[in-house]
Amino acid sequence: MDEKIFNKGYKYKPIKTKRLLLVKPDIKYKEELYNLYINKKIWVYNGGSNNNYSPNSVLLEIKKKRKLWLQKKMVSFFIIYKNKFVGTISLNNISPDFKNAQVGFILLPDYWGKGLMSEALSEFMKFIFKNTNLFRISAFVCAKNKPSIKVLEKNEFKKEGLLKKSAIYNGKVYDNYLYALLKK
């Protein structure tokens, strides 16, 4: 099995959008990433918990993501807005054999509602379909997470189904929607 997902000849460079810079995970943002992860608002409709993170675990996560980038086995960007770290966007559960993956994104609450994640996701998906051999990107989103649903739909992700009682966020059981975007 060839686990590399990038097209032959791909070389890393940051992604520039109208307002954002998407950069490879960098240790210099470890404190900002830690502060993102411990923010309770982030975890209301996201899987996981803000109790699972420490400054050291965040540092190890960044190092692991950088190593996988170098091996061309994963894609993860830090989102920079006005020279500040504001969030992350990445592929998870990558299946090289089936040429698909899941997208995940989180943004600091101070930057919600400004269209930043829609902008980041738009360029991220162009990057993915141009530079990798993946042809299907899916997203699981809590049925109550209207802002994330809006971000996905604005970026042409299609709702494929409802997964009843499929997630636990903050100790509560929720339904998730499955969205996907296919390479054109």
Give the count of beta carbons closer than 10 Å to the beta carbon of residue 14. Answer: 12
pTM for this model (two decimals)? 0.93
Per-residue confidence (pLDDT) for residue 48, from 0 to 100:
60
pLDDT at 1 over 50: no
Please provide the average confidence, as pLDDT, over all residues in the chain: 92
pLDDT at 154 over 50: yes
- 181 confidence band (pLDDT: 50, 70, 90): very high
Tell me the angle at which helices 116-131 and 146-154 cross, rounded to the nearest 10 degrees.
50
Per-residue confidence (pLDDT) for residue 147, from 0 to 100:
95
Per-residue confidence (pLDDT) for residue 50, from 0 to 100:
56
- Contact present, 53 and 43 (Cβ < 8 Å): no
pLDDT at 168 over 90: no
Determine which helix (DSSP H) or strand (DSSP E) holds 62, and give its type and residue range: helix 55-70
- Contact present, 58 and 46 (Cβ < 8 Å): no
- Contact present, 138 and 100 (Cβ < 8 Å): yes
HSE-up of 173 (CA within 13 Å, CB side)? 4
All domains of the chain in start order, with CATH: 15-130 (3.40.630.30)
pLDDT at 2 over 50: no
Model confidence pLDDT, tens digit, residues 69-123: 888 888 999 999 999 999 999 999 999 889 999 999 999 999 999 999 999 999 9
- Contact present, 49 and 172 (Cβ < 8 Å): no
pLDDT at 142 over 90: yes
